[in-house]
Structure 1
């Protein structure tokens, strides 16, 4: 693929041309895009279950996009990956985007999310894609600020549990031959290089635990987004690009201004 790509998640909606893959594909192709990153949780655009089971469906999607001059760059399980690990403080907020059958039931919601991310591996393999993108979810994020003082071992145990939940998923991606790229992002437990390293240590530096690089998230954290590339370039498999600038005022800084 040569040319710019675009993540469709921010644009999907109920109104045309944003309510079907052919229509939104034509819309982005007319603007000069060559690749699309597809959100797999939005059935208006993509049927993840069918893609995980059917070569014919995957060929149909690729062929339709090829007719528009587009390729699929990656499949995204951002929303489902985030639900692999949800702190109870966020249960109500994260119930809105899941099937009604698992709402109000965190254990069932997590099992549904894990199954969705596993289908992402199978669908990516059928689509001939070498990598997929997701979020890590968050068990420790409510405690990211070091006051009130955290009980000893709280963050370590949260990361131990995060690794326990993701390790079998990473093994499934290894079996599928697909890299799983975590978008390092505030509100997720993997939000900077230090937290990524904590996670890697706990999954034995799993070869499929890779990264999506988005410097906008680092800019707003006042993190050196260029040195990050020097440190982690061997694991970066994809990237997002968008404008960001840090403009603190007397009323707002990193937290309320983000």
Structure 2
């Protein structure tokens, strides 16, 4: 009877989600797009690395959840997949938008805070001003499919206030700016400035002082996923992320990637 009692207790713990997470039937699949330095494929060893990856490694390692990361070439493809409930159980990293909530369960805890600015060539910094979107009238403005920006930004695109250069891969935007094919493009300052310093063109670009938006960014969980007990995993994820903020391990990851000056918590 004693052995039977132990077995029943262990089974109850598993059913209630109290046992180790590695009893899950399969790997957790996390989707995203490449964006240095938060997630990217290291050309030297082919491994996916970055701030986002280290945060997930820390949390899912603590929870004993096996996982793999799948990076897509475009944000539009990524969004199409999670809207259809295909391929992913989690998705990196989004600001909160109500229209996504039928498909995605947002973590309660953010791990990134981004200021989005209109970037320009440094030589044009004094030519352009941005206090309101109408100030960009007549310019060539870059935009990427699948990015939310703001409702006002997309309304300005629809109204034809400027000439929109629309692409499917955000990585193309900086090269277009550097080669003079667009006048300005809204980009997240943290990752944009990091990339500029790493690739040696930081002295060629600048951004207009007023942010287009400032938002917290969250990892998300795909509601249509068949991964067992995903809402429970989301709760445990939040608990671990709160612990990382309290014990300094999240700040240490920012420091590792040269981003400590952007640590917002």
- Give the TM-score of the pair, scaled to structure 1: 0.26
- Give the TM-score of the pair, scaled to structure 2: 0.26
Between Structure 1 and Structure 2, whose CA radius of gyration is higher?
Answer: 2
Q: Which has the higher contact order (CA 8 A, sep 6+)?
A: 2
